[in-house]
Structure 1
Amino acid sequence: MNDQTFSLQPFPSTESFPNLKITGNISRNANQLTICYTLGGDLKEIAIPRPSNAPSRKYELWQDTCFEFFLGIKNSQRYWEFNLSLAGHWNVYHFDGYRQGMQEETTFEKLPFSVQNQADGLVLTLDVDLGKIISAEQAIEVGITTLIKYRAGEVTYWALTHRGVEADFHLRDSFIAVDT
């Protein structure tokens, strides 16, 4: 298993926001993918939803603070978008190519993950079996992202790197390889 650490960067903006830091790690062991995000800094201005008593599949989670990752098969245009809300809601979408053929990925009936409040921030951890969508032998590339919405309504876009002139999490040249 190869554990890779990451640090997300905000899309260059003229806005001034509280000091935030989004870091974490990702690892793949055969078809088990584990990703852990840590959100630290001044969180009082961030719109953080309350935990749901009944987390479920929800649409348009990217309208609010949302942790996301994009998983692609190396040398293939196909990829998946995973959305994880701090309230516990989730969704997974499948794409045939860059922003093409978006469909809800129905092979996942649930996507259990944990959100923990800590003294210095929040930690979101997901451990998912990818066997429903890819084989353990397939090499993958992952784009790790987060959308932060502030109480005043402003939004910032965080990613490993920003390759476009606008924030665009779907750009494959911003994905990294994740080894087994």
Structure 2
Amino acid sequence: MQTHLLVPHPANPPLAVIAVEARFGVVGPWLQLRWRVEGAGKVMLPPFTGRRRADNLWRTTCCELFMHTKGAAGYTEFNFSPSESWAAYAFRGWRESAGNHPVSHDPAITPRPGRNLLIVDVALPLADLPPLPAALSLNMVIEEAGSTLSYWAMAHGDPDKPDFHHPACFAAHLAPPETP
């Protein structure tokens, strides 16, 4: 598993969250993802909806995965809500929508809120990913009490406003799984 510390965008500091860690790895036919939030006592969690596709999940606490296949012009965005709703979008180029990205199975999203810790685990079938190898961007939008929003990424490309679509955010890499 690769582990990355996410950093908040300086234009939108968190209220009480002190650290966000994201990690990923391939386990069998699945991409396993985990976001771990320390200082989560004031994090606002959306109400439970069950596993279903939904839009605008990024407007509140939401985990995100962006993938850019090596040599491709476009990229894919996945949103995973602690409500267990999810979304997947395809882009032809920077913020140039190509509609929904097809997904064969609902991602398995398991939120584990604690008193001052939030963990969100996600399992996504490798078959639903764009072709590998790919550059990855692991991000998180966090809403805390009083509608305070902070935007966490492995790297930020625009110092003035958060933009998870920015190429600088794609700071990790996922290779195709090794075949025995």
Specify the TM-score bucket, using the shorter chain as the normaliser.
0.7 to 0.9
- 1:18–1:109 Cα change, 3 Å: same
* Structure 2: distance between partners of 1:101 and 1:14: 26
Identity %: 21
Q: Deviations over 1:113-155 (max 9, x none)?
A: 21123454121111212323434xx311110100011221121
Return the TM-score normalized by structure 2. 0.86
Gap regions ≥5 residues in structure 2: none
1:49 counterpart residue number: 46
Q: Deviations over 1:85-114 (max 9, x none)?
A: 111111111111111124112334422221
* Structure 2: distance between partners of 1:16 and 1:156: 5
Matches within 5 A, 1:92-131: 92-118=88-114, 120-131=116-127
* Structure 1: distance between partners of 2:128 and 2:82: 24
Return the TM-score normalized by structure 1. 0.86
2:72 counterpart residue number: 76
Offset, 1:26? 0.8
Offset, 1:164? 1.3
Gap regions ≥5 residues in structure 1: none
2:165 counterpart residue number: 170
1:132 counterpart residue number: 128
One-letter amino acid of the counterpart of residue 7, structure 2: Q
* Stretch of structure 1 that moved more, 23-32 or 77-86: 23-32
The count of residues paired between Structure 1 and Structure 2 equals 174
1:17 counterpart residue number: 15
Offset, 1:31? 5.8
1:33 counterpart residue number: 31
Could you say what the CA RMSD is over the residues aligned between the two structures, in angstroms?
Answer: 2.1
Determine helix, strand or coil for the equivalent of 2:147: coil
2:63 counterpart residue number: 67
